Amino acid sequence: MRSTILPPLGSPFQTPLPQECREDRAETPTMCEEATDIVKYGNPFTMDRLFVGLEPAWGGINAIEFTEHMPISFVSKLITARGDKRKMDRFKRTSHKHLVNLKEVFVTEESLILFYDKWEGISLREIQDLRPAFQLGEVEVATICFQMLQALQYIHGTLGINHGALHEEDVYIHESGDIKIAKIGESMAREFSPQEKSKDIQSILKIARQLLGLQGTSGGSGTMGLLAHDFTAAPYNTSIDQLLQSGFKSWSLSGDQASPYEIQCGALVPQTNQCPMHIG
C-alpha cells in the first residue's frame, strides 16, 4: 500500500509530497548492511504510512508523518551520492531535552531520510529578525547558551561526534521555553574530526555575540554586559566544562533557573506562527 496524502487543508503549505520525496517506485538500496533498531532500508514514502509534504520545505523539514497509532514525526531528506556507503553505525537514536531528537533513519540508493520528534518553535534567526521590536538581554542569552552547552556535552560525550553546523537558524526556542538544537541526524551523516569539537563551542559563543549585538572587541554596558563580553570572548581552547563552571558562575546563572526569556519567547511561538502547522 502506498503512502496516503491528505487532501488540501486550506493552509499555506502544499500537501503533496515534494518531488524529491515522492518516487514512482521504491528506491532499492544496493548496500547490504543489516538494518538496526534505528537504521532501516527502503523508501518510507512507499510504505503503509501517512505523510503530508511541505513545499517549500520548512527548516529543512520536507514532510510530516501522521501515521495512525504512531507519534507525529518531522521528516527530512538528505540527498547522497549513488552508492555512497556511509557508516550506518554512527546513527543513534537520541534522547536529550535540548535536541530535536532523531528517531529513525531510512537508507535508499541516493538519500537518507531522517525522522525527528515533532517540535513547535521559533529559531534564533527569527528572533534576530524581530529586532528592535523584540530583543534578548544578557540573562536570557546566558540561559540560551547554558542549554546549548548542555546539548553540546551530550553530542560530544554520549554521541561521540561534533555538530559541525551550529547556526542561529538551526537553534529553536520551543513553545515550552526550552532550547532545541536541530539537524543532529545530518551531523551524524557528516565526516568529523575530534579536533573540530572546539568549533562547536566557538559557534555557540558567536551566536551569543550576535544575540547580544556585540561586534568586534566591543563590550556590553554595565556589569552584566561586561561579564557577557568576557564569556563570549573565551579563548579557542576553552572547554565546555570550563564555560559551564567558571563562565556561568560569573554570570550568576544556574541551569534550572527560570528567566524572562522562557516566558517571552515561549509566547512568541504561537504569535509568530513559526512552525509548519500548529499540531495539538
Question: Which CATH architecture is the domain 121-253 placed in?
Answer: Orthogonal Bundle (1.10)
pLDDT in tens, 130-179: 888 888 888 888 889 999 999 999 999 999 999 999 999 999 998 888 99
**According to CATH, where is 3.30.200 located in the chain?**
39-116
Residues of the chain with CATH 1.10.510.10: 121-253
Provide the residue-wise pLDDT of the chain in tens; the chain has 280 residues: 444 444 333 333 344 455 555 444 444 444 445 567 899 999 999 999 999 999 888 888 999 999 999 999 999 999 887 766 667 888 999 999 999 999 999 999 889 999 999 988 899 999 999 888 888 888 888 889 999 999 999 999 999 999 999 999 999 998 888 999 999 999 999 888 877 899 999 999 999 999 988 776 555 566 666 777 778 888 888 899 988 886 665 554 444 444 444 434 444 444 444 555 444 4
C-alpha to C-alpha distances, 82 to 109, 136, 244, nearest whole angstrom? 6, 45, 43
> Can you give the pLDDT at residue 249?
56
Four-point Cα dihedral 153, 154, 156, 161, nearest 10 = -160
Backbone angles phi, psi at 209, to 5 degrees: -65, -40
- Whose grid coordinates read 509530497? 17
State the alpha helices, DSSP H only, in the chain.
124-129, 138-153, 184-189, 197-212, 222-232, 240-242, 248-250, 260-272
CA 73 to each of CA 12, 63, 64, 102: distance values in angstroms, whole numbers, following the listed order: 20, 9, 6, 10
Class assignment of domain 39-116? Answer: alpha beta
